[in-house]
Structure 1
Amino acid sequence: MAHPVDVHVGKRIRHRRWLTGMTQQQLAEQVGIKFQQIQKYETGANRVSASRLWDIADSLTVPVSFFFEGLDGASEAGSDKTSVPADLMGDKEALDLVRSYYAIPENQRRRLFELARVLSDVA
């Protein structure tokens, strides 16, 4: 059985890779391994070594600490006044929404953001 931390780190690798639009093959090539190894990391089946995590973080342009964010999030999630899921980056729909949002030209994006903010205040 996979360790919960390995599963969490793997999910964070997958979510960041999705967010950047990178395939497993592309990430594997940048890190210098086979894509099957990326698959095993992402499912938590294999533990990522410190040096490999460093290379993955570099390829995905995030600090190594990114992969550990949210490990203690369960206790903090209840104190948040919004109903945002604890693992927001684990939701493929949310990731697709973020990608689509950033594909909108900046001036329109700001207007959309203000509209969403007003609508959420009303709800």
Structure 2
Amino acid sequence: MTHPVDVHVGKRIRHRRWLVGMTQQQLAEKVGIKFQQIQKYETGANRVSASRLWDIADTLDVQIGFFFEGLGNEDDAKVKDAMPSDLLGDKEALDLVRSYYAIPENQRRRLFELARVLSDVA
């Protein structure tokens, strides 16, 4: 049986991998394992050891804490209720995020502020 923490960490691995445009095969090769193991990590079927998570974080250029962000955070319940549980599992949402980060930083900040005002989440 999968543990909720393992599932969360796996989703965060997949989320970051997609954001940087890396395949499971590419991540696996850089970390020195088979892509099937990455699949198992991403579904939460297998737990990621501390040393392997360190290697994955290094490869994906994030801090270890990235994989635990949002875990057990009840303060965001209202926002979470309005969004799908696996937002970045949606191809359209992923394309939107990639496009957003392709915008020059000063314009991106202005777009972000506009989105916050329009959504009343600010």
In 2, are the aligned partners of 1:41 and 1:47 still within 8 Å (CA)?
Answer: yes
1:49 and 2:49 are equivalent in the alignment: yes
Q: What residue identity is the alignment partner of 2:3?
A: H
Segment of structure 1 superposing worse, 100-109 or 24-33: 100-109
Which blocks of at least 5 consecutive residues in structure 2 are unaligned?
Answer: none
In 2, are the aligned partners of 1:8 and 1:68 still within 8 Å (CA)?
Answer: yes
> What's the TM-score once normalised by structure 2's chain length?
0.79
Deviation at 1:113, TM superposition (A): 3.9
Separation in 2 of the partners of 1:105 and 1:4?
37
In structure 2, which of residues 80, 83, 86 is the aligned counterpart of residue 85 of structure 1?
83
Which blocks of at least 5 consecutive residues in structure 1 are unaligned?
Answer: none
The aligned counterpart of 1:26 is 26
In 2, are the aligned partners of 1:70 and 1:87 still within 8 Å (CA)?
Answer: no
Provide the identity percentage.
77
> What's the TM-score once normalised by structure 1's chain length?
0.79
1:40 and 2:40 are equivalent in the alignment: yes
The aligned counterpart of 1:62 is 62
User: How many residue pairs were aligned?
Assistant: 119
Over the residues paired in the alignment, what is the CA RMSD in angstroms? 2.5
Q: Give the number of the structure whose alpha-carbon radius of gyration is greater.
A: 1
1:2 and 2:2 are equivalent in the alignment: yes
Separation in 2 of the partners of 1:72 and 1:118?
27
